[in-house]
């Protein structure tokens, strides 16, 4: 593929990583509050947001990998 496609795939991967990192930190905070401050357990919705971010990161990584492979003739 073109260099532009590679750059766009890398940007999407970066954005997905930032979003996942944010959701991961928020989920970690909720778990810590539960364990140490007696707060409520994270809800299914809390985990769903994290799972969605993880799935988006995985997909962005696959697209980026495919772009890199196709740029190298693989």
pTM: 0.80
Question: How many whole angstroms separate alpha carbon 20 and alpha carbon 28?
Answer: 12
Q: How confident is the model at residue 1 (pLDDT cuts 50, 70, 90)?
A: low
Query: Quick one: pLDDT band at residue 63, thresholds 50, 70, 90?
Result: confident
- Cα–Cα nearest to 46, from 25, 66, 17: 25
pLDDT tens, 13-57?
999 999 999 999 999 999 999 998 888 899 999 999 999 999 999
Is pLDDT larger for residue 72 or for residue 20? 20
Query: CA 27 to CA 13: how far, in whole Å?
Result: 21
- The CA distance from 47 to 63, in Å, is 24
- Mean local confidence (pLDDT), 61-67: 84
């Amino acid at each position: 593929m073109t260099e532009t496609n590679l750059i766009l795939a890398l940007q999407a991967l970066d954005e997905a990583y930032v979003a996942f990192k944010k959701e991961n930190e928020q989920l970690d905070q909720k778990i810590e509050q539960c364990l140490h401050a007696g707060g409520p357990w994270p809800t299914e919705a809390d985990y769903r947001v994290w799972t969605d971010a993880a799935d988006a990161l995985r997909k962005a990584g696959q697209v980026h990998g495919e772009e890199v492979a196709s740029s190298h003739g693989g």
